[in-house]
A and B are shown apart, each in its own frame.
Chain A
Amino acid sequence: MSEISEKQNELIVSLWRGGKSGAYRTYRVPRRENQTVLDVVTFVQRHLDPTLAYRFACRVGMCGSCAMSVNGRPRWTCRTHVSKVAKSGQLQIGPLENLPIIKDLATDMRPFFEKWQQAQGVFKPSRTRQDAIAKIRPDTRARTAADAAIECINCGVCYAACDTVRWNADYLGPAALNRAWTLTNDERDAGNAERLSAVAGSGGCHACHSHQSCQEHCPQSLNPTASIAALKRAAASAYLRGRIKS
């Protein structure tokens, strides 16, 4: 990263290579108009080093597959323009923090999704297919709260940005807790008691320090910190009323 590209039309790109004990390797990539960070990684893989491992799918910010650490910040690479993050012509791209590295830029997302399950981030239906479809008014308080948090694409950026995840291996993380909060506000859902119990344990919502890194980095501009704060209140209230145990 100390090397500076002499040409305006070239990027100096450091990519993480290997597993946990790997290292950054530097490549020179042509600079293009409207180039995204994912374009840069793809160029390296297709033209310079076909052994580079990375993950992507939709390329339009919907699937949440391509998140990486870009110049020290977790970002969705398909929607991150090089012009925004590499003003000096240099890029350092690594795998997401707080997750095991499979190889190069690809992390093992299993811990992230396992915690999603632990937080009971799964819809538990309260009706059968024989029942009438529930009518949900969009202007209720619960539905407004659910809508505000529901556009998560599971990219793992908040999980990589979270200090509490870094310090506490049991912490469920912002995305899983944000998901739990949306379901808590879904009036069709029947799993709230179990869900509040699941998020009230030692690695649950009360472990959050409200550093707000999740909110700062979320590419969807969601606010998981607010969702977690609301979950804290809901779980504390349920505990005081004897509905859940610690």
Chain B
Amino acid sequence: MNVRLYVWQRATAALMLPLVAVHVGLIFYAMDHGLTAADILGRTRGSLLWASFYGVFVIAVSIHASIGMRNIAAEWAPISDRNAGRLAALFGLLLLVLGARAVAAVVLP
């Protein structure tokens, strides 16, 4: 891992720290208040706030996890650094698409 990837991975980790805390807090809140799926969708659909919150979350996860996967692939798999980078980019793209799909499902009206 070079300094550029290091900075991106640490920066996205720092960004995710409060996001994870809010996300976990949200789960506890929903459980404590017995919110149904319909209740939750009623609050998230059309909400720019939740779209931004989980949109940023998905982008940060995609960058952070793909850099980690790149390191694992480069160190453990018999492939070159360049191919590890390509594999990680594909993995990041997959996370981005899956995440964006999930966010769209809860925020689009």
Give the B-binding residues of A (Cβ under 8 A).
Answer: 164, 167-168, 200-202, 204, 206-207, 232, 235-236, 239-240, 244, 246
User: Quick one: closest B residue to A239, CB to CB?
Assistant: B3
Quick one: which of B2, B10, B75, B76 contacts A204, CB cutoff 8 A?
A: B2
Interface: B5 (CB within 8 A): yes
**Once the chains are docked, how many angstroms separate the CA of A225 from the CA of B27?**
38
Q: Judging by beta carbons under 8 Å apart, are B2 and A236 in contact?
A: no
Q: Judging by beta carbons under 8 Å apart, are A167 and B75 in contact?
A: yes
Q: Judging by beta carbons under 8 Å apart, are B2 and A202 in contact?
A: yes
**Once the chains are docked, how many angstroms separate the CA of A232 from the CA of B74?**
20
User: Quick one: closest B residue to A167, CB to CB?
Assistant: B75
Contacts A200-B3, A202-B2, A236-B3 supplied; 7 other A-B pairs, CB < 8 Å: A167-B76, A202-B81, A206-B1, A206-B2, A206-B5, A235-B3, A246-B4
Within 8 A of A (CB), among B64-94: 71, 74-76, 81
Interface: B7 (CB within 8 A): yes
A168-B2 in contact given A236-B10, A239-B7 (Cβ < 8 Å): no
Q: Judging by beta carbons under 8 Å apart, are B76 and A246 in contact?
A: no
Q: Judging by beta carbons under 8 Å apart, are A206 and B3 in contact?
A: yes
Interface: B6 (CB within 8 A): yes
B86 to chain A, nearest CB (A): 15
Q: Judging by beta carbons under 8 Å apart, are A239 and B75 in contact?
A: no
A239 to chain B, nearest CB (A): 5
The main secondary structure of chain B at its interface with chain A is helix
Q: Judging by beta carbons under 8 Å apart, are B1 and A207 in contact?
A: yes
Quick one: which of A164, A168, A201, A240 contacts B7, CB cutoff 8 A?
A: A240
**Once the chains are docked, how many angstroms separate the CA of A164 from the CA of B3?**
17
- How big is chain B's contact interface, by range? 10 to 19
Q: Judging by beta carbons under 8 Å apart, are A246 and B75 in contact?
A: no
20 contacts between A and B (CB under 8 A): A167-B76, A168-B74, A201-B2, A201-B3, A202-B2, A202-B81, A204-B2, A206-B1, A206-B2, A207-B1, A232-B6, A235-B3, A236-B7, A239-B3, A239-B4, A239-B7, A240-B7, A244-B3, A246-B3, A246-B5
Instruction: Write out the residue numbers on chain A whose beta carbons fall within 8 Å of the beta carbon of B4.
Output: 239, 246
User: Quick one: closest B residue to A199, CB to CB?
Assistant: B3
Instruction: Write out the residue numbers on chain B whose beta carbons fall within 8 Å of the beta carbon of A206.
Output: 1-3, 5-6
Q: Judging by beta carbons under 8 Å apart, are A202 and B76 in contact?
A: no
Instruction: Write out the residue numbers on chain B whose beta carbons fall within 8 Å of the beta carbon of A240.
Output: 7
Interface centre among A167, A206, A244 (most CB of B within 10 A): A206
A-B pairs with lowest CB-CB distance, top 5: A246-B4, A200-B3, A167-B75, A206-B6, A239-B3
**Once the chains are docked, how many angstroms separate the CA of A201 from the CA of B1?**
7
Q: Judging by beta carbons under 8 Å apart, are B3 and A168 in contact?
A: no
Instruction: Write out the residue numbers on chain A whose beta carbons fall within 8 Å of the beta carbon of B10.
Output: 236
**Once the chains are docked, how many angstroms separate the CA of A239 from the CA of B76?**
28
